[in-house]
Chain A
């Protein structure tokens, strides 16, 4: 059974010019103990998806279809109070930009305790929890401004793990950190995952980080998943042209060649191109791509691609 199963998820935003669909018919499974990555450019819907799974989409946005199955519960239809209980205990999130996630006028240890109390748990073992995420003794008594970016992100990991959830969503947890600290924080996240036997959904745009961290990867473009495959498959042989270009746009340390960006701009969600949304930027596009929307096809066991030519 999956740790988390997302089925046909749709998230829309009401906009004066009509409905904007930020996440469109997304399905994937997070297996127990698995690290699953979601990559895409800004505006691809990956963070919206994270918020939707946490049931944290606020108006004018709303989930307008699909299921989010977590341990026998459907988060998409659960009552607000049940969702509140499930958050942190069943599924927790390490937010993007820990600096804005912590309360600046509250000691960080108290913030962890608060999270536990909120779920009717006695706030015990906070020191051990802090040590578990690699924070030095005494950190619990500090205020966020006294901590470095990496330490604040560790506090967020401590909060995310305090009720031992089975799924942790990490939304660009290291995008504000430099590479050395990034690796330390990701290592902590991996250790915590092992401890909890949890699955991790890592959201980001750095293909290098994904290649080194996740077991499987989903690639998002304009609100849809265009490819899902084991990470080794993606690295060895990306099937969707967009995946290929995402990898090529990353500066490689092996060979120095002309920097290759992805030409054109990500499409506006309220005005998506016809057919395959990627076709205006795709070097392999044919007439068919502008007319016919590709459906996901399993081109090989475990490799799902939305492309007519994969």
Chain B
């Protein structure tokens, strides 16, 4: 079996500590492989502080794990040869949340597109480079004449974000890690940008790790969903199963908290989460908010159980099922 293209192997990351203050655990023994088998979109869903952005940064090599290893084609990314490192930087592309921060306001938009063409020698001539750029822009539904030659402030947020998708495309990556790519754009544009991400997977065979706090868009666009809560995966599986038959009380809370356009108006009145600050230090990190917490949740940390062929959850409610080791999380993902 060949090594997965990108793999987090039991990765942990803590922040803070030092002389004062406690450590904050951002990622706790997390394992995931991307780019094995059929191209797919895997969503990592969680609230702020769940560790989802840390996961993205660790996979991109922007944050060093406190323990564990990130591997590219089986090799530790911190020990890649010059050549392998270049391949890693080409194969794995990132799209970030803020389509404002990534542009230098003094340069024309072209700059973010021509730089990768130049640095990675993607084109043999200026004209060929231009053609590549125009093609990438068209792929994400932009008209090159409306984008090129302009300054970032002259584009809308949606145009800027799609330009970043086009930039990622230029390098013909195998994996795109998209950290909240649509949280700063309007609902009406979200659908368009997510639609273009879906096309990248279906038509160009690019696997995408879609990091978001929005379970609804995760369900719409992804094949798999991993739900994170305070540094670990609490539920994972096919998008359909996780959203339609959520097994973990936290996922149930998330699903129930999404306001729906419907004539049934029970969103405000439904009481869905418990508030037991006393259980803050329980073994299960969700116990203080869980409506189903039991005595065992305070003393014993729940491990992942395999509930179905493509469904796993870390909750004592499902402890009758066979255990799934954290490093085998991929077994329930397609």
The reply to whether B257 and A180 form a contact with Cβ atoms under 8 Å apart is yes
Mask, B235-278, CB within 8 Å of A = 1, is 00000100100000000011101111111010110001100000
- Given contacts A180-B273, A212-B268, A251-B216, whether A261 and B195 have CB atoms under 8 Å apart is yes
Q: Report the bound CA distance from A236 to B263 in whole Å.
A: 7
Minimum CB–CB distance for B288 against chain A, Å: 13
Q: For A42, give its contact among B48, B186, B191, B273 (CB under 8 Å).
A: B186
Q: Residue A266 at the B interface, CB < 8 A?
A: yes
Mask, A184-219, CB within 8 Å of B = 1, is 001100100000000000000111110111000000
- Given contacts A207-B187, A235-B261, whether A178 and B213 have CB atoms under 8 Å apart is yes
The reply to whether B243 and A186 form a contact with Cβ atoms under 8 Å apart is no
Q: Report the bound CA distance from A179 to B219 in whole Å.
A: 15
Chain A residues 235-291 with CB under 8 Å of chain B are 235-236, 245-247, 249-254, 256, 258-263, 265-266
Q: Report the bound CA distance from A260 to B193 in whole Å.
A: 10
The reply to whether A253 and B255 form a contact with Cβ atoms under 8 Å apart is yes
Mask, B116-157, CB within 8 Å of A = 1, is 000000000000000000000000000000000000000011
Minimum CB–CB distance for B20 against chain A, Å: 15
Q: For A149, give its contact among B48, B190, B263 (CB under 8 Å).
A: B48
Which of A43, A179, A246 has most chain B Cβ within 10 Å? A179
Q: For B268, give its contact among A186, A249, A259 (CB under 8 Å).
A: A186
Q: Residue A182 at the B interface, CB < 8 A?
A: yes
The reply to whether A252 and B261 form a contact with Cβ atoms under 8 Å apart is yes
- Given contacts A206-B187, A246-B187, A259-B198, whether A211 and B254 have CB atoms under 8 Å apart is no
Interface size class, chain B: 35 or more
Q: Residue B227 at the A interface, CB < 8 A?
A: no
Minimum CB–CB distance for A91 against chain B, Å: 23
Q: Report the bound CA distance from A43 to B157 in whole Å.
A: 11
- Given contacts A212-B259, A246-B188, whether A180 and B254 have CB atoms under 8 Å apart is yes
Beta-carbon nearest neighbor of A247 in chain B: B261
Chain B residues 171-202 with CB under 8 Å of chain A are 186-195, 198
Q: Residue A110 at the B interface, CB < 8 A?
A: no
- Given contacts A249-B191, A253-B243, A261-B191, whether A211 and B156 have CB atoms under 8 Å apart is no
Q: Report the bound CA distance from A207 to B187 in whole Å.
A: 9
Q: Report the bound CA distance from A122 to B243 in whole Å.
A: 51
Q: Residue A232 at the B interface, CB < 8 A?
A: yes
Q: For A213, give its contact among B194, B259, B273 (CB under 8 Å).
A: B259
The reply to whether A249 and B219 form a contact with Cβ atoms under 8 Å apart is no
The reply to whether B260 and A253 form a contact with Cβ atoms under 8 Å apart is yes
Beta-carbon nearest neighbor of B195 in chain A: A259
Minimum CB–CB distance for B48 against chain A, Å: 6
Beta-carbon nearest neighbor of A190 in chain B: B268
Residues of A within 8 A of B258 (CB): 179, 208, 253
Minimum CB–CB distance for B14 against chain A, Å: 20
Beta-carbon nearest neighbor of B49 in chain A: A148
Residues of A within 8 A of B253 (CB): 180
Given A182-B257, A245-B188, A249-B191, output 18 extra A-B contacts at Cβ < 8 Å. A41-B186, A42-B157, A178-B47, A180-B272, A182-B259, A183-B257, A183-B259, A205-B186, A211-B259, A213-B268, A250-B187, A251-B190, A252-B216, A253-B260, A254-B260, A259-B191, A261-B188, A261-B191
* 4 tightest A-B CB contacts, nearest first: A261-B192, A261-B191, A208-B259, A212-B267
Q: B residues within 8 Å of A by Cβ?
A: 47-48, 156-159, 186-195, 198, 213-217, 219-221, 240, 243, 253-255, 257-263, 265, 267-268, 272-273
**A-B pairs with beta carbons under 8 Å apart, 11 shown:** A43-B156, A179-B215, A180-B253, A181-B47, A183-B267, A211-B262, A252-B216, A253-B260, A259-B192, A259-B221, A265-B158
Q: A residues within 8 Å of B by Cβ?
A: 41-43, 149, 178-183, 186-187, 190, 205-209, 211-213, 232, 235-236, 245-247, 249-254, 256, 258-263, 265-266
